[in-house]
Amino acid sequence: MARPDLYKTLGVDKKASAEEIKKAHRKLVRQHHPDRNPGDTAAEAKFKEVQAAYDVLGDPEKRKQYDRGGLFGGGAGGFGGGTAGGGGGFDAGSFSDIFSNIFGGGTGPAGGGAGTRRGPTGPRPERGGDLEASVSISFQQAIDGAQVPLQVPTSQTCGTCRGAGAKPGTSPTICPRCSGRGIEAQGQGLFSISQPCRRCEGTGTIVEHPCPTCGGSGATRTVKKYRVNIPAGVQDGSKVRLAGKGEPGRHGGPPGDLYVLTRVDPSPIFRRKGDNLEVEVPLSIPEAVRGAEVEVPTLDGRKTLRVPAGTKHGTVQRLRGAGPPKLGATGTRGDIHYRFVIDVPTELSKEQSEAVERLQAVLTGDPRAQLFEATT
């Protein structure tokens, strides 16, 4: 059988885009659909030919194989011979059957036997699912980094069936409903839609004799123990990714990842503000007015800060590079912001009240200030 020109079948150029191929397919399907051409065998044959061509050109991977000449070749691995009538062309029904055998598996004369054979693609490898767990750490551990234990319920490949899901001595079989393709088409008017096969749930195979250990799932539940390295500088809600520590993949697919969520205990002194820390420093009224030197906490002990005279409530003084390490920026640290809060007493003694009145009189230029001086 000559290698069919699928682009010619759809009436598009070999460099046509996926959208152009899709539009051409829709147009030809509407034109040759059996519902629109009842009793027209030629239209039915053309319809099958168009569908078979789109089955290849509409799939990026199959199209690549076809463009490389890997689907229709002569010799032992190709498809030789003519149609049932002995001509040099090909029959649309046989053409469709060929694609079924190539990509889905099925019973046919090309196999030379009565058994069902699997297409070369088989079930597609599936990446395993991601997992998420949380760990609680202290504020100091978040600043310095730490190694903490973690137990994670997860799945692992079944040791009895090695992930196949079938009882030892048996194998999964090709799904008879979808012929191993994992999808099935349902007609709706002039169009058909594809969806995962209801029999095999899209895997392309069914397990007739499930493994007694895993019940046919190919995996068993277990609890894995890890020592997780928490980097210095994490915050409450940060995620640490452990690549390949998630659920195992199916059909040879890679495992997922494990994301560890950090829950950081609050500090009684420092408050986290992004890459920085904030500390409230109380000042008395005289310290705010006259200025002072006050001791403030740091991550490494205590330090003396100079408060300038006339400091207002809420003024912030920054200590650069004294904060927590910055994630993803080796060797750099955030800052500590010291926010000055003026401590105003809620109750005053008689002496304190008189002192406040004298101060007010002096600051406002009240003539009573001289009277206060005379009485003291």
The reply to whether 74 sits in an annotated binding site is no
Q: In what order do the strands lie in the sheet with 131-137?
A: 131-137, 258-264, 239-242
Chain CA centroid to CA 147, Å: 25
> What distance in Å separates the CA atoms of residue 307 and residue 371, rounded to the nearest whole number?
33
For 303, the token pair is 């330090």
> What distance in Å separates the CA atoms of residue 258 and residue 161, rounded to the nearest whole number?
25
> What distance in Å separates the CA atoms of residue 134 and residue 259, rounded to the nearest whole number?
8
The reply to whether 175 sits in an annotated binding site is yes
Residue type, 270: F
The reply to whether 75 sits in an annotated binding site is no
Buried b (16+ CB within 10 A) or exposed e, 344-353: eeeeeeeeee
The reply to whether 169 sits in an annotated binding site is no
CA distances from 50 to 32, 104, 145, 194, 348 (A): 9, 18, 62, 16, 95
> What distance in Å separates the CA atoms of residue 200 and residue 204, rounded to the nearest whole number?
6
What's the distance, Cα to Cα, between the start and end of the chain in Å? Answer: 122
The reply to whether 197 sits in an annotated binding site is yes
The reply to whether 200 sits in an annotated binding site is yes
Residue 343 · residue 283 · CB < 8 Å: yes
Reported as type and span, the H/E element at residue 240 is: strand 239-242
* Placement of tokens 């055998």 in the chain: 101
The reply to whether 211 sits in an annotated binding site is yes
Among 27, 102, 28, which residue's Cα sits nearest to residue 66?
Answer: 102
> What distance in Å separates the CA atoms of residue 149 and residue 61, rounded to the nearest whole number?
44
Annotated binding site for Zn(2+): 158, 161, 175, 178, 197, 200, 211, 214
Annotated binding site: 158, 161, 175, 178, 197, 200, 211, 214
